[in-house]
């Protein structure tokens, strides 16, 4: 599977970006907590993966450390509280691995209609030569402030999901950010797409999309082909280029399998 060189993403690939973003956002979930008034607040993002024969909510470890209990996400018709055994990675001073997971019961997956990412959409099942683009996706805090997203008469929350795209080739330096090319995926992210497929000239701050997926989109002319490549953990949004880092999927799967089988 190959892709061709191209002009800037936002100019010639708007339709492909919008189509790929729609698929990616289907698998992306918000993480919420309740404030002192018992009203929901978005603070991070997550995806659901099947590891061996079990389903796990996977996110960034720092999101779970700050909110170890009282986690909520969206379900088929309303928000539901997440329960289950949680594990988080550990670092000496800074956790550059930064992965956390929660075991989800099968009946919850069925009852809430959770979109578990299929194996066919994992990067581990494909070999890609010269991919065109990558993306990270989640729920920015700045675009999901309670005052605007919560309908107080019904307590219904409208969460807005955004996808940030960039070329597949990472031009930055891993080591200067404490990262490694064998453990992490780097991205110089450019244009953003909101939950309605609209392109954004100025992407909102990525704070809050921690724990969302990092996706490989080999060819934006075949935007139905998207592959989860990792879990987004860190960004450096000031200046240009804007850098984002994700922990590679193979390490995420190993971590989930090992820590939940201890």
Least Cα distance to 164 among 209, 105, 115 occurs for 209
The per-residue pLDDT for 24 is: 96
For the 29-117+254-260 domain, the top CATH level (class) is mainly beta
How large is the average pLDDT for residues 28-47?
Answer: 91
Neighbours of 77 (CB within 10 A): 8
CB distance 248 to 186 below 8 Å? no
* Assigned CATH for 9-27+120-248: 2.40.10
All CATH 2.40.10.10 domain ranges of the chain, comma separated, are: 29-117+254-260
The per-residue pLDDT for 3 is: 31
* pLDDT per position as a tens digit, 78-125: 889 999 889 999 865 677 899 999 999 999 999 999 999 999 999 988
The per-residue pLDDT for 1 is: 34
254 has a pLDDT exceeding 90: yes
Structure-token pair, residue 183: 């453990």
Q: Torsion over CA of 174, 65, 79 and 203, rounded to 10 degrees? A: -30
Contacts of 163 (CB under 8 A, 6+ apart): 17, 20, 21, 24, 25, 135, 136, 137, 192, 193
The per-residue pLDDT for 245 is: 94
């Amino acid at each position: 599977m190959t892709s061709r060189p191209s002009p800037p993403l936002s100019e010639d690939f708007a339709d492909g970006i919008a189509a790929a973003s729609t698929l990616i956002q289907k698998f992306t979930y918000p993480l919420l907590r309740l404030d002192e008034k018992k009203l929901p607040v978005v603070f991070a993002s997550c995806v659901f993966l099947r590891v061996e024969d079990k389903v796990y909510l996977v996110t960034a470890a720092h999101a779970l450390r700050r909110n170890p209990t009282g986690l909520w996400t969206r379900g088929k018709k309303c928000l539901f509280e997440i329960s289950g055994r949680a594990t988080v990675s550990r670092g000496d001073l800074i956790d550059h691995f930064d992965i956390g997971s929660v075991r989800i019961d099968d009946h919850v997956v069925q009852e809430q209609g959770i979109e578990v990412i299929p194996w066919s959409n994992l990067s581990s099942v494909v070999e890609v030569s010269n991919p065109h683009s990558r993306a990270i996706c989640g729920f920015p805090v700045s675009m999901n402030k309670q005052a605007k997203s919560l309908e107080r008469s019904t307590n219904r929350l409208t969460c807005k999901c955004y996808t940030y795209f960039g070329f597949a080739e990472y031009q930055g330096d891993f080591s200067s950010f404490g990262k490694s090319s064998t453990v992490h995926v780097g991205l110089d992210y450019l244009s953003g797409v909101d939950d309605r497929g609209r392109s954004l000239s100025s992407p909102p701050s990525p704070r809050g999309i921690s724990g969302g997926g990092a996706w490989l989109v080999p060819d934006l002319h075949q935007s139905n082909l998207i592959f989860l490549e990792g879990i987004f953990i860190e960004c450096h949004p000031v200046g240009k280029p804007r850098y984002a880092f994700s922990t590679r999927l193979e390490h995420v799967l190993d971590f989930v399998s090992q820590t939940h089988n201890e």
